Amino acid sequence: MMAGTRAPSGELPCAAEPSGFAARAAAPLRAALAQAWRLGMRIDRALTRRRALPRPVISVGNISLGGTGKTPFVIYLARRLAADGLRPAVLTRGYRSGGGRCDEPREIADALPGVRVLVGRDRHRAAAAALAEPEPPGIFILDDGFQHWALGRDVDLVLIDASRPLETGKVVPAGTLREDVRALGRAHAVVVTRADLVPASVLSRVTGYVRARFPSLAVACAGEAVRAYTDLAGAPCARPACPVLAACGIGNPDAFVARAAREGLVVAAEAALGDHHRWQAADAAAIERRAAETGAGTVLTTAKDATKIDPRWTRMPWVVMAIETRILDGEAALWSLIRARTGAARA
């Protein structure tokens, strides 16, 4: 996006496509596979029976492949609902990164003591079981729910990452979108995340496009702030004063590095692993060797990665930069929509 073409409001804000020979040669095949993906999504949606719950459901999702800051936003949403006394529970499939460990549900649970995080492929069954308990949830947050057709919802919130909002605007494998942009018409609101990491002109193009193309949607802008610095065991620690090596296995590693720089940390080197990476002792050792080679005295990582890194694997200091979502614009309208559609104002 940052290197992409300028787009007036009403036009799709996306990055320039690769122009090399290999990219051009593969374009027809990618386009055909993207068409097959679209057809598969339509068939899946048409054949899936949607079941409702007797409690309100708020879905938080994407139209891209991930890395939009969804987990911090789910935590923000659950914390706000809990403060209102609504007894939220989070429904998530739980992506297993190896060894049976689910990183995002663990991160959510660690950040929200007292809020139930229900993990299971069948989200309706997980919710029904929780509703049969003596103190059932009063409202559910459906994590990564925009394409989860099987569960009814009262509110559909879709996140768009301002630092790479719609990439090339094409569906996988031709691009990085799960669905065509017109799918935003199913949503009730769009939250543009990481709005504080881009120039005002870029943010204006993204919000302008959404408002022009989908005038019925509520639009909010969100940033992130550091909630705490901790060690790998979760104990509070000081903000790193020495240069750091930024190591992560998340959907948008560039945003993590940009956040560290924005916080005034000196990033000597980066190590971007795959999203939901299965950490092993060898990974930690290799990263520490690179840190030593680049003059970094500390390894900086994310709360998501920290759920999978055993402190016994480390020899040098590792610091977790835990972040939280903060709504920068449109918060009142967003919560007015949520309360109106869920009846939360009655609580």
**271-299 confidence digits (pLDDT tens):** 999 888 999 999 999 999 999 999 999 99
Tell whether 191 and 66 lie within a shared domain: yes
Lowest-confidence range among 11-15, 95-99, 226-230? 95-99
Verify that 109 and 170 share a domain, yes or no.
Answer: yes
Q: Are residues 57 and 106 in the same domain?
A: yes
Confidence grade of residue 30 (pLDDT, cut at 50, 70, 90): low
Q: Do 191 and 259 lie in a common domain?
A: no
Is 267 a domain residue? yes
pTM for the model: 0.86
Residues 6 or more apart in contact with residue 70 via CB below 8 angstroms: 60, 61, 62, 143, 144, 159
Average pLDDT on 132-153 reads 95
Residues 198 and 267 reside in one and the same domain? no
CA torsion sign for 264, 269, 275, 278 is: negative
Question: Are 92 and 198 within one domain?
Answer: yes
Q: Are residues 163 and 285 in the same domain?
A: no
Query: Is the domain of 192 the same as that of 338?
Result: yes
pLDDT of residue 178: 86
- Read off the tokens for 127: 């919710």
Do residue 157 and residue 283 come from a single domain?
A: no
Instruction: Examine the domain organization and report whether 162 and 281 are in the same domain.
Output: no
Position 239 in a domain = yes
- Look up the domain containing 292 and give its range: 226-325
Question: Is 273 contained in some domain?
Answer: yes
Question: Is the pLDDT score of 8 beyond 90?
Answer: no
Residue whose C-alpha is closest to residue 193's, from 155, 230, 171, 225: 225
In the chain, how many domains are there?
2
Q: What's 178's domain CATH number?
A: 3.40.50.300
- Report which of residues 6 and 242 the model is more confident about: 242
Residue 150 pLDDT > 80, yes or no? Answer: yes
Same-domain check for residues 83 and 218? yes
